[in-house]
Amino acid sequence: MTAPFGERFAAAIAERGQFCVGIDPHAGMLHEWGLDDTVAGLEKFALTAVEAVAPYCSVVKPQSAFYERFGSQGIAVLERVIAESRAAGALVLLDVKRGDIGSTSQAYAEAYLDPRSPLASDAITISPYLGFGSLLPFVEVARINGGGLFVLAATSNKEGPEVQEAMTNDEFGGRTVGSAMLDHLRELNHGAHPVGSFGAVVGATIDGSGYDFAINGPILAPGYGEQGGTAADIVRIFGASAHHVVASSSRGVLRLGPDAGAMRGAVERANDELRSLLG
């Protein structure tokens, strides 16, 4: 049976550092590489990026939407990205942000976390805003298959506070919705060692005050690098939980392509910067 994602995550960041590369082949980036916005361009871009970064970073994070827009042919490319990234030793965090209820949640979970699926990844991003209880099928499938979940909690997009900073109306009253999500994750990860498999998505540029990020689980911090987040911000926001954070950047690495050496160098520099402050 596959080891729990939390164990594999802890081992990966210990060996390869706390930097995650997003492999996001949007049309503008394809054009920057001199590629057409076609399936052929998508394939060239994505697999070149995988070859350049997957052997050197702990986590790669393909954004599913940029592959889905090409239909079944794009999904076939995504399947190769997942398989080749894992073959290179990186964990694959598939950025799908799914969230539904009942049998639909179950089907999404099986699509992305069941090893029998060609889209099976090590972990996925999910949205809890139909209620955290709606995520239980994801939790169950993840537990069975040693998978991980990263739940949206405190994102850095300007629209996020409308939901995430609203106050709950439950028996715990007086906490924000974002804090409630972190509390649920803390409960799921209770007693796990070295770290649980149920993580949070928290922007690397948020203020961070008012949140308790000690969830005994992994944390994905998008917005590192060109979007303004720094290693010092990781320490400032997450404090003692910073050693469970994987900082994510897409554009800051991919804009250096198709030069594989330059992309690899960006990964190494980011890992060095994070290691210098996080240990």
Enzyme catalytic residues: 97
Calpha distance 188→216 (Å, rounded)? 9
Calpha distance 16→49 (Å, rounded)? 17
Output the six-digit token pair for 226: 């060109």
Closest CA to 56 of 20, 93, 4: 20
Calpha distance 98→19 (Å, rounded)? 23
Contact 218, 247 (CB under 8 A): no
DSSP, collapsed to helix, strand or coil, labels residue 94 as strand
Contact 43, 68 (CB under 8 A): no
Instruction: Tell the residue number behind the tokens 């997450």, with chain if given.
Output: 238
The percent helix, strand, coil of the chain (3-state, each to 5) is 50, 15, 35
Calpha distance 24→36 (Å, rounded)? 15
Q: What Rg, from alpha-carbon coordinates, does the chain have?
A: 18
Output the six-digit token pair for 198: 């149920």
DSSP, collapsed to helix, strand or coil, labels residue 2 as coil
